[in-house]
Structure 1
Amino acid sequence: MNEQAQEPLETLYEGPWLRMRRRGRWEYVERTNGDGMAVIVVAVTPDENVLFVEQFRVPLGARTIEMPAGLVGDDHASDTLEAAARRELIEETGWSAQRVDVLLVGPTSAGMSNERIAFVRARGLSKVGSGGGIDNEDITVHEVPRAQAPAWLMQKQREGFELDLKLWAGLWMIEHNPDGTAAT
Structure 2
Amino acid sequence: MGKFLELVTTDCGWEYVKRVNCPGVVLVMVYHTDRQEYLMVEQYRPPVGCRVQEWAAGLIDKGETPKQAAVRELYEETGVKVTEDRLIDLGRIYSGVGMTDEEVNLFALEIDNSTIIDVPDVKGAEITHELKTVWKKETELYTLKAAKALSVLVRYKALKHNPSISFPD
TM-score band by shorter chain is 0.7 to 0.9
Query: Partner of 1:72 in structure 2?
Result: 60
Indicate yes or no: 2:17 matched with 1:29.
yes
Give 1:95's match in structure 2, choosing from 70, 76, 80: 80
What aligned pairs does 1:1-184 form with structure 2 within 5 A after superposition?
Answer: 14-24=1-11, 25-35=13-23, 37-47=24-34, 48-73=36-61, 77-98=62-83, 99-124=86-111, 126-131=115-120, 133-137=122-126, 138-144=130-136, 148-150=137-139, 152-153=140-141, 163-177=145-159, 181-182=162-163
Shift, 1:131, TM fit: 1.6
Q: Structure 1, unaligned stretches of length 5 or more?
A: 1-13
CA distance in structure 1 between the aligned counterparts of 2:29 and 2:108, rounded to whole angstroms: 5
More strand by share: 1
Tell me if structure 2 keeps the 8 A contact 1:52–1:143.
Answer: yes
Secondary structure at 1:90 match in 2: helix
CA distance in structure 1 between the aligned counterparts of 2:153 and 2:125, rounded to whole angstroms: 28
Residue-pair matches, total = 155
Shift, 1:101, TM fit: 2.7
RMSD (Å) for aligned C-alpha atoms = 2.3
Mark the CA change 1:173 to 1:23 in structure 2 (over 3 Å): closer, same or farther: closer
CA shift digits 1:59-112 (9 cap, x unpaired): 111111111111112xxx211110011011111111122411321112111111
Segments of 4+ in structure 1 off by > 4 A? none
CA shift digits 1:110-165 (9 cap, x unpaired): 11111011111224462342126322302110122xxx322x246xx5xxxx6202
* TM-score (norm. length: structure 1): 0.74
Mark the CA change 1:132 to 1:142 in structure 2 (over 3 Å): closer, same or farther: farther
Q: Structure 2, unaligned stretches of length 5 or more?
A: 165-169
* TM-score (norm. length: structure 2): 0.80
Q: Which one scores higher on RCO, CA 8 angstroms, separation ≥ 6?
A: 2
